[in-house]
Amino acid sequence: MNIAPNLFKAYDIRGLVGSELTSPIAEAVGRGLADWLPSMGPVAVGYDMRPDSRELAAAVRHGLTLQGRDVIDIGEVASDMIYYAVGSLKAAGGAMVTASHNPGQYNGIKMCAEAARPISIETGLADIRDAIEADDYKVVDRRGEITKRNIMDAWVTHALSFVEPKSWPAYHIAVDTGNGMGGEVMPHLDDKTPLVIEPMFYKLDGTFPNHPANPLVAANLVDEVAEIKADRLDFGIAFDGDGDRAFLVDETGRIVPGNIMSAFLAKHFLKQFPGSNIIYDARNSRLVVDVITENGGIPIKSRVGHSFIKQAMRENDAPFGGEFSGHFYFRDNYYADSGLIAALVGVQVVADSGKTLSGLVDEYASRYARSQENNFKVADKAAMLARLERTFADGEADHFDGLTVNYADWWFNARPSNTEPFLRLNVEATTPQRLDEKLDQLTQILNG
């Protein structure tokens, strides 16, 4: 079977529906996954609210059953629920039909093995792809069966086990789910916490009629910021399309960036598990390292990407891992990321602090000035990285994940994207002036 060249990404499958990702391709993915999974047993399958997700999920299920795998159909769910399903039901693996925050014309498939272990291009995706291209599947003597399972109540109970809602004030907050899967999950928490919630864009709609469901982009949260300010709310929560990322928005309308959330969530878990290893990604902030160290933890750097973070957490028995992108990982959630758990623990941190969210964030924000991640189209990524290393040869360089160059008062990381034709640049400095100076210098080089 012919496959579009860029359909298989570093961590998942993602492409344009109808041309790159079709039902026959999805069925083949199910067959390839069924054969590849190391463990015996059923496979959990879920899907998001995109117009074609239900059909693609049916094709994945059919492919799995053709290869003799029984299937647990968990229906229309958030992506973090597939990891919970695989772990809690002791399934052999899982497949989630979603394209996360990508526009509505895209879709994809995220997969994992037993205990929610990630499947990346280096740990199985390439093997599945090769089997599909060769039409090479095992001969089986039975067809698998499909059973439906509603895990919503169990999932919500599990997520709430990370926090103590009885200790929370009755915060009045806005929750923007961007017409994504968070709108299906959040109503199930209504009578389980003291939160007073103003729901925003809860209606499931995979065409994203109100704004793109990517809270990493400030322009997508203008409605929530306006709601928070107009009604003088305590803060807000914003989910991405498939619900596995969540960002907090303080009462002034400031979006809490991933590095600051990584820092205060790390501190929270170090209170629970003193002296623990905490994982952070290579583009995250010096702030995260400082906070982990100050609170008696051991900071351990990982390559960017969920498969690397999860592996590092398992290897180091880390209770928490944080990425600058807003993916947060929890040992007691099968080492998987979850937007819901991150949001709930974020509320717990605010409640425990006794401060406003802006007051809490101010403690961290004053230490370093940080850029957003900037993308640059570069014809020859390796040549550009070499040029950057020559230009900044007086700094301390490492090649752990792309190129990182450290100076006393600033640093940068330039990393080839695993999914797009970009170099991704992150810059941090001890002052806003130094940040602006170095960001301008790097931008000129990368645009040249």
Q: Determine whether 142 is exposed, middle or buried from the number of CB atoms within 10 Å of its CB (0-12, 13-18, 19+).
A: exposed
Tell me how far apart the alpha carbons of residues 246 and 266 are, in angstroms, rounded to a whole number. Answer: 16
Residue among 53, 79, 100, 262 flagged as catalytic: 100
Residue 322 main-chain phi, psi, to 5 deg: -130, 135
Q: Determine whether 116 is exposed, middle or buried from the number of CB atoms within 10 Å of its CB (0-12, 13-18, 19+).
A: buried
Count CA atoms within 13 Å of residue 8 on its CB side: 24
Q: Which two tokens stand for residue 395?
A: 């700094």
Tell me how far apart the alpha carbons of residues 380 and 429 are, in angstroms, rounded to a whole number. Answer: 27
Alpha helices in 334-420 (DSSP H): 339-353, 357-365, 381-391
Please indicate whether residue 100 is annotated as part of the active site. yes
3-state secondary structure 155-211: HHHHHHCCCCHHHCCCCEEEEECCCCCHHHHHHHHCCCCCCEEEEECCCCCCCCCCC
Supply the DSSP symbol for 78. -
Cβ atoms within 10 Å, residue 243: 30
Amino acid at 188: H
Provide DSSP, 415-440.
EE-SSSSEEEEEEEESSHHHHHHHHH
Amino acid at 203: K
Q: Determine whether 394 is exposed, middle or buried from the number of CB atoms within 10 Å of its CB (0-12, 13-18, 19+).
A: exposed
Cβ proximity of 53 and 206 under 8 Å: yes
Provide DSSP, 101-148.
TS-TTEEEEEEEEGGG-B--IIIIIHHHHHHHHTT-----SS---EEE
Compute the Cα dihedral for 383, 384, 385, 387 and give only its sign: positive
Q: Which residues are catalytic?
A: 100
